[in-house]
Structure formats: structure tokens, C-alpha cells
């Protein structure tokens, strides 16, 4: 769980297979994600996600049922998404006892993937408390009278 910009998780009272279907079946995806999901869940498949009158291309990266599903998006139209020009969204499903699943999602971007491991580790270490701390400090900066 290193090298990430955003990482969130939730504990679900349903077995992994059910959670897997919820996150990977297009008609299910359209209920929690985009308004329009035009996607075949196969590695390398190109699809589209529509949000209202906006949207963009999506490329599936990993499909490893029922534990891992990832795709890239936010890359420039007409370009193939790679580490440097896109955001990677990764879902990880972990069974927690009988009939429970821990679902973790991460969205990481841009140069993060290309970092050497030492840098990633350092970032991960800073990252845990990082943003909350940042917001605190930021608040104190903002509280300063402006010149």
C-alpha cells in the first residue's frame, strides 16, 4: 500500500464473489459509478464512462477475479494510457471471515508509478498523516492576516 495518492476502504457484509460482481458488471457499475458504462471487463479492453454530458475513455488493466480489478483513466483522448499520462484506479477485495469483504480502492497518478522504491516508501510514510496534517497547517496559514 505504498505509492498512492488516495486510498479508501470499506467493509461489506457480503462475500467477495458478490462484491466482485458489483464492481465489475457494467449494469452494476452504472449504479455506483458512471451514468453510462460501456466496458468489457477484460485486460486491455478499451471502454468509455459517461458522467452526464461528460465522460472519457477507460482502459482495463488487471482483471483477477475475485480479488483485483484495475483500470486507467483521465488520459488524453486519442492517447494510450500509460503511467505518465493517466490515473490508475485499483480495487482490491479481501475476504474477512465468513461472508464479509474488505474492499479497498486506490487512485494513483502520474509520476507516482515511476518513482524508485525508496521514494515511494518515503512518500507512503509521509502520506498516512500527510493530508490531514497539511490541511491543519494550511488552516493556520490561511488564518494569518494577508499582506
Contact residues toward other proteins (CB under 8 A) are 5-6, 8-10, 12-15, 18-19, 21-23, 28, 31-33, 51, 54, 56, 74, 87, 99, 101, 103, 105, 107, 109-112, 119, 122-123, 126, 130-131, 134-135, 137-138, 141-142, 144
CB 93 within 8 A of CB 106: no
- The nearest distance, CB 25 to other proteins, in angstroms, is 10
CB nearer other proteins, residue 9 or residue 64: 9
In degrees, rounded to 5, the angle at the alpha carbon of residue 7 between the alpha carbons of residues 136 and 43 is: 155
- The nearest distance, CB 44 to other proteins, in angstroms, is 23
CB nearer other proteins, residue 38 or residue 119: 119
Query: HEC states along 75-139?
Result: CCCCCCCCCCCCEEEEEEEEECCCCCEEEEEEEEEHHHHHCCHHHHHHHHHHHHHHHHHHHHHHH
- The nearest distance, CB 57 to other proteins, in angstroms, is 11
Amino acid at each position: 500500500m505504498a505509492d498512492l495518492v488516495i486510498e479508501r476502504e470499506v467493509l461489506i457484509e457480503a462475500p467477495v464473489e458478490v462484491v466482485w460482481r458489483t464492481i465489475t458488471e457494467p449494469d452494476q457499475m452504472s449504479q455506483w459509478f458512471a451514468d453510462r458504462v460501456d466496458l468489457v471487463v477484460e485486460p486491455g479492453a478499451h471502454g468509455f464512462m459517461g458522467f452526464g454530458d461528460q465522460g472519457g475513455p477507460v482502459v482495463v488493466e488487471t482483471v483477477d477475479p475475485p480479488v483485483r480489478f484495475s483500470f486507467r483513466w483521465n488520459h488524453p483522448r486519442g492517447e494510450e494510457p500509460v503511467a505518465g499520462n493517466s490515473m490508475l484506479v485499483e480495487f482490491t477485495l479481501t475476504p474477512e471471515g465468513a461472508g464479509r469483504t474488505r474492499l479497498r480502492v486506490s487512485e494513483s497518478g502520474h509520476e507516482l508509478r515511476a518513482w524508485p522504491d525508496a521514494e515511494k516508501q518515503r512518500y507512503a510514510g509521509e502520506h498516512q498523516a500527510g493530508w490531514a496534517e497539511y490541511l491543519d497547517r494550511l488552516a493556520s496559514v490561511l488564518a494569518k492576516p494577508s499582506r
